[in-house]
A and B are shown apart, each in its own frame.
Chain A
Amino acid sequence: MENNENTTLKSNDADTSAKPTDAANAAKTVDKSKSQSDAPPLLTISTSPHIRDNINIQGIMLTVIVAITPAIVHGIINFGMNAFINLAVGAISAVLAEYIWQKAMGQKVTISDGSACLTGLLLAMSISPLLPAYMVAIGSAIAIIVAKQSMGGLGFNIFNPAHIGRAALMVSWPVAMTTWTAMPGVDAVTGATPLNVLKMEGYEKVVEMFGGQEMMYLKMLFGQQNGCIGETSSLLILLGGLYLIWKKIIKWHIPAVMIATVALITWVFGPDGLFTGDPLFHTLAGGLMLGAFFMATDMVTAPMTVKGQVIFAAGAGAITALIRLVGGYPEGVCYSILLMNSLTPLIDRVTKPRIFGIGGKNK
């Protein structure tokens, strides 16, 4: 470790025999002819490093699934059997789609890494509990086969698979996708989400629907509102997101910047002129929390550097706010993230870190 450049030189001898394809874990038998009778018969040789961290893809996916579990349980309690069926169908059909595709293509089956299951769950979380189960299954299949496997599988997809599935359902069955349940115990809130009401009838109507501004915030925080299966309780999603940050699966930058951008724009461009918006309402409404913590942070489709992530999240937040305020749809989280996904390779290119020793200022 004393001389980097020299270590590099020295390593070449070991390298020439180390083709990336075969040497990784290739074992080589010790030459017995050289008096190795009591030496270990088999020693593995490979290039350094020889030790690895315990984290693997499966571990990451399982941690994310643990993080969304509170919101999933809450969705099932809130919306009952329909929600449960949709979640189960979403997860199972995603895993099945991946299995069938990989079998058909003669690839190694990778369903055990948990990524397909997670995609299915996230898709089901971001749709109405009333959506017929077969549509959920089709959405899952599109997410896995079109958005993920046809691109080359995990790691190669450009767009967030769950959101592609959702977008496909949205254009295929727009009515079914926007048919909402009547929430038990919340009489006033029937048949429409807060963002729907906002778009159609204005902010006052939303407040009136909840019975006051404070009640509105509380109900949105604790999930007593209409909406998608896993999006209603902002508090539980926030808890799951903080768990992921604590576990170092995601960084705080994407959710924080995305939410802050939406809050800022919706506050500035309020219904009654500049600085009259309700940023808290927009933060808690719709799929922003789920999108910011669990969709935009999808590592495959988001930039790798913090700088890139900030640009990505600000863009996603701005597009979300734009769609909510002036677009035709009441909600824009899904499309905003998909649009920014398409920019990720470009963002990664322009936000490469500065290489040590090039262009730095010496002190």
Chain B
Amino acid sequence: MFQFLGGIHPNDGKSLSGDAAIETMPLAKELVVPLSQHIGAPCKALVKAGDTVKKGQLIGDHEAFMNAKVHSPTSGKVTKIEMRPHSGQNEAMAIVIEPDGLDEWADGLPTERDFNAMTKDEIVAAIGNAGIVGMGGATFPAHIKLTPKKNIDTLIINGAECEPYLTADDRLMREESARIVEGTKILAKMLETEKTVIAMEDNKQEAFDAIKKAATGTDIEVVKLPTRYPQGAEKMLIYVITGREVPAGGLPMDVACVVQNVGTAAAVADAVTRGIPLIERVTTVTGEAIANPKNLRVRIGTTYKDAIDFCGGFKEQPSKVIAGGPMMGFAQHNLNVPIMKGSSGILALTKELTAHEKERPCIRCGRCVDACPMGLVPSMLSIYGERGNFKGARDEYGVMNCIECGSCTYVCPAKRNIVQYIRHTKSELRRIMAEEKAKAEAKGGDK
């Protein structure tokens, strides 16, 4: 095993919800299913207001390559198709469904299948038809990630869950290890890997034991990694397990690896062996402001508000509600955003934890340099970003390699919003590059 550079040990907050077994949340009165739950073009609605839908019925699709199908999470009536709040963008088109309470499956679902009898193409089709995306939060369509153009020798199932506070993957591994191992076997068979690893941090001993037990008699290696954020970042995890560095600007397949989240593996098992599309997931509702933090099995489309209410509501006024974990999650201003395929957690933090001091100039202490897992100099990136030297940040300090894990900003004693400067720099660079390209093309056209 290898050790990645830098990293931090934030207060993990996992004890709030770590002991709560997965609880199935009853159907909400209204489900809001966004047509954009993945990276890529938003789906087009296949139903219209007034239609009746069944559980698992395909309701959104798109012909684009980067696509993940959307299915109805329950049976009921489509009341509206309209713009609704969305946790990743401000608003997005969503199909609003009023459940009829019967929770009836669509025709032919679920169907038992033996994956050993299926061809590779059939498995890929099953995963694609189930609309599975990376459930760790990245939401990259799984069937595309699983059909790389390069040879793959290593499959890594990511149970690191290094984000503080989140415990959904931990509980899933403890309670549903069989599904995860089944999904892992399917993926390993499909990718024809030499090495298959399920990895988690060593703060999840029970999950390790459960997976280890479930994987007995298989070729799957189950490994415990020393707890350190951002262990679960794809590049870090690949390096720790294989010693290979994903090249700058490259993808895991460039080093013959595929990484999938444990939740994704479980969803793959459901999709391939039972034909069940991705219509529910386990998500953690936690934080100091939540009355009873829980790990919920919840239908896609359940709003944050309903999920939080099911957990007893707020016991004190939250200052921030975050989609995902505290290190890389997105702060929300509207609790009517729905839980989606990539929603690993809902985190409500109190003012104490989120009131930060005012930013000061960099004192060059070098803590960020020590914390950066990518070998960057975040202090200089923040200074260049602040002063608008975007190209300098790219050419001299490699800003484009930043994975925005937030370690630098976490440790900064001057409380600088380093990641924010970096994001600003990156988006400005994209704009500048697009402009330059347009200019060059215009010039070429004149001749």
A residues sitting closer than 8 Å to B (CB atoms) are: 1-16, 18-20, 23-25, 28, 30-31, 34-36, 39-40, 42-53, 55-57, 59-60, 110, 113, 152-156, 299-305, 348, 352-358, 360, 362-363
Q: Would you call B50 an interface residue if the criterion is a C-beta within 8 Å of the partner chain's C-beta atoms?
A: no
Additional A-B contacts beyond A14-B330, A43-B331, A304-B369 (7; CB < 8 A): A20-B386, A34-B85, A34-B336, A51-B410, A60-B413, A113-B360, A304-B364
Contact B39 A358 (CB under 8 A): no
**Complex-state Cα separation, A52 to B355, whole angstroms:** 9
Closest approach, in angstroms, between the C-beta of A255 and any C-beta of chain B? 15
CB distance from B433 to the nearest CB of A (A): 14
B366 on the interface (CB 8 Å rule)? yes
B430 / chain A contacts, CB cutoff of 8 Å: 12
Asked if B116 is at the interface (CB within 8 A of a chain A CB), the reply is no
Q: At the interface, is chain B mostly helix, strand, loop or mixed?
A: loop
User: Does B10 lie within 8 Å of A355, measured CB to CB?
Assistant: no
- Whole-angstrom distance from the CB of A43 to the nearest CB of chain B? 5
**A6 in contact with B39 given A48-B419, A358-B398 (CB within 8 Å):** yes
**Which residues of chain B from 346 to 405 have any CB-CB distance to chain A below 8 Å in the complex?**
347, 349, 353-357, 359-366, 369, 372-377, 379, 385-386, 397-398, 401-404
Q: Which residues of A contact B314 (CB under 8 A)?
A: 40
With a CB–CB cut-off of 8 A, which chain A residues contact B366? Answer: 299, 303-305
CA distance A19 to B424 in the complex (A): 7
- The interface centre, meaning the residue of A35, A39, A303 with most chain B CB atoms within 10 A of its CB, is A39
- How far, in Å, is B132 (CB) from chain A's closest CB? 12
Q: Is B406 an interface residue (CB 8 A)?
A: yes
B138 pairs with A352, CB closer than 8 A: no
With A50-B354, A353-B376, A357-B235 as contacts: A3 and B134 at CB distance below 8 Å: yes
Q: Does B312 contact A (CB under 8 A)?
A: no
Binds A, one of B119-127, B183-191, B245-253: B245-253
Say yes or no for B234: interface residue by CB 8 A criterion: yes
**Cross-interface CB contact of A356 among B136, B235, B347, B379, cutoff 8 Å:** B235
- Contact residue among B136, B322, B426 (Cβ-Cβ distance under 8 Å from A1): B136
B242-287 interface with A by 8 A CB criterion: 242-251, 255, 259-261, 264
Given contacts A15-B427, A35-B336, contact A358 B10 (CB under 8 A): no
Q: Say whether B67 faces chain A, with CB atoms less than 8 Å apart.
A: no
Q: A59-B413, A355-B375 are in contact. Are A11 and B319 (CB under 8 A)?
A: no
Contact between B88 and A20, CB atoms less than 8 A apart: no
- By the criterion CB–CB under 8 Å, are B332 and A43 in contact? yes
How far does the alpha carbon of A331 sit from the alpha carbon of B10 in the complex, in Å? Answer: 44
Which residue of the partner chain B has the closest CB to A41? B317
Roughly how many angstroms separate A19 CA and B427 CA in the complex, as a whole number? Answer: 11
- Of B57-65, B157-165, B203-211, which binds chain A? B157-165
B139 near A49: Cβ-Cβ < 8 Å: no
Which of A2, A14, A16, A43 is the one whose CB lies under 8 Å from B137? A2
